[in-house]
């Protein structure tokens, strides 16, 4: 069993890269990818922690990307060089945009009557990059909401009262950036696009034409029928199949590394094709 999607304290996860490796070896997983949001700062520690351990560590990242037909998506990059200058510049640009967005989110939440400070949100993030889940953590701690789903459904989700925009890469640029850094580009959790089959087919055609390498078909929140559909979509375009839990730790209670809500199983046989594509 493998897990190709998880987050550490360097973005919005609650475990350090070393703790993630320890947990993965306990499960045990045969491979783990660290895919923090718009940063690879935790990758050196992740790779060092995995050295000599019975697990294949895969350096990764999760990028925020605009879709060709409007809207946004997340793109997973695997096997990238974390020191690639162009990649570092673009991720810094995205993070700078996130900082400006965070100030706007805080302003909107305060205006809505939620008493919270930037310092409290930063404390929730620890050493990681502040994001919406950290605002949710503070709101839950203060008793403004019961859980993260409530926060996002009412206040922080797209088009909600405290939502604020931030810069994204367009899809062709993101795919080219991943490739130039030596990696492969994969569409993350496609169910979040809320597309029917026709729209998903059209989107995947566009992304595949831009060089997309794979689709995250196995995912914590995918239903069995969605998984089957995504596997068919990927096979029709000869795209790689990946999967992961999107583990964040305490920020997403109920989601476990490797198994998601308990039934996720990303098979080992997905790993060799991915590694072969990276090493060709």
Query: Where do the structural domains in the chain lie, given as residue ranges?
Result: 2-91+167-279, 96-156
Q: How confident is the model at residue 144 (pLDDT cuts 50, 70, 90)?
A: very high
Give the pLDDT of residue 55.
97
Q: How many residues does this entry show for the chain?
A: 280
Contact 34, 60 (CB under 8 A): yes
Tokens of 48: 């060092």
User: DSSP letter at 255?
Assistant: P
Q: How confident is the model at residue 70 (pLDDT cuts 50, 70, 90)?
A: low
Q: How confident is the model at residue 68 (pLDDT cuts 50, 70, 90)?
A: low
pLDDT at 128 over 70: no
CA distance 217 to 214: 9
Q: pTM for the full model?
A: 0.84
Q: Which CATH code, of 1.10.150, 3.30.420, 2.30.30, 1.10.357, is assigned to 96-156? A: 1.10.150
pLDDT average, residue stretch 47-54: 97
CATH architecture of 2-91+167-279: Alpha-Beta Barrel (3.20)
Contact 8, 2 (CB under 8 A): no
pLDDT at 157 over 90: no
Give the pLDDT of residue 83.
94
Q: Is 220 exposed, middle or buried (0-12, 13-18, 19+ CB in 10 A)?
A: buried
Give the pLDDT of residue 125.
79
Give the pLDDT of residue 164.
87
Alpha helices, DSSP H only, in 112-223? 118-125, 132-141, 148-151, 171-180, 197-209
Contact 260, 245 (CB under 8 A): yes
pLDDT average, residue stretch 12-18: 93
pLDDT in tens, 36-49: 999 999 999 999 99
3-state secondary structure of 190: helix
pLDDT at 20 over 90: yes
pLDDT at 69 over 70: no
As beta bridge partners, residue 60 has: 78
pLDDT at 127 over 70: no
């Amino acid at each position: 069993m493998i897990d190709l999607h998880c987050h550490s304290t360097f973005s919005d996860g609650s475990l350090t890269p070393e703790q993630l490796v320890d947990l993965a070896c306990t499960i045990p997983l045969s491979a783990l990818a660290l895919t923090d949001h718009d940063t690879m700062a935790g990758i050196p520690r992740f790779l060092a922690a995995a050295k000599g351990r019975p697990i294949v560590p895969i350096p990764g990242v999760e990028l925020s990307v605009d879709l060709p037909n409007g809207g946004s998506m997340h793109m997973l990059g695997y096997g990238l060089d974390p020191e690639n200058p162009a990649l570092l510049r673009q991720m810094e640009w995205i993070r700078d945009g996130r900082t400006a967005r965070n100030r706007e989110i805080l302003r909107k939440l305060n205006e809505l009557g939620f008493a919270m400070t930037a310092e409290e949100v930063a404390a929730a993030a620890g050493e990681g990059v502040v994001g919406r889940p950290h605002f949710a953590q503070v709101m839950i701690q203060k008793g403004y909401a019961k859980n993260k789903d409530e926060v996002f459904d009412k206040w922080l989700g797209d088009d909600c009262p405290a939502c604020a925009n931030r810069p994204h890469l367009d899809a062709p640029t993101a795919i080219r950036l991943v490739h130039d850094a030596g990696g492969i580009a994969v569409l993350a959790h496609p169910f979040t696009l809320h597309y029917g089959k026709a729209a998903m087919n059209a989107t995947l055609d566009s992304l595949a034409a831009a060089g997309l390498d794979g689709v995250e078909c196995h995912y914590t929140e995918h239903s069995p029928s969605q998984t089957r559909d995504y596997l068919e979509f990927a096979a029709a375009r000869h795209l790689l199949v990946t999967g992961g839990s999107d583990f964040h730790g305490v920020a997403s209670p109920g989601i476990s590394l490797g198994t998601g809500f308990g039934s996720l199983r990303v098979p080992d046989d997905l790993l060799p094709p991915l590694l072969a594509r990276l090493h060709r």
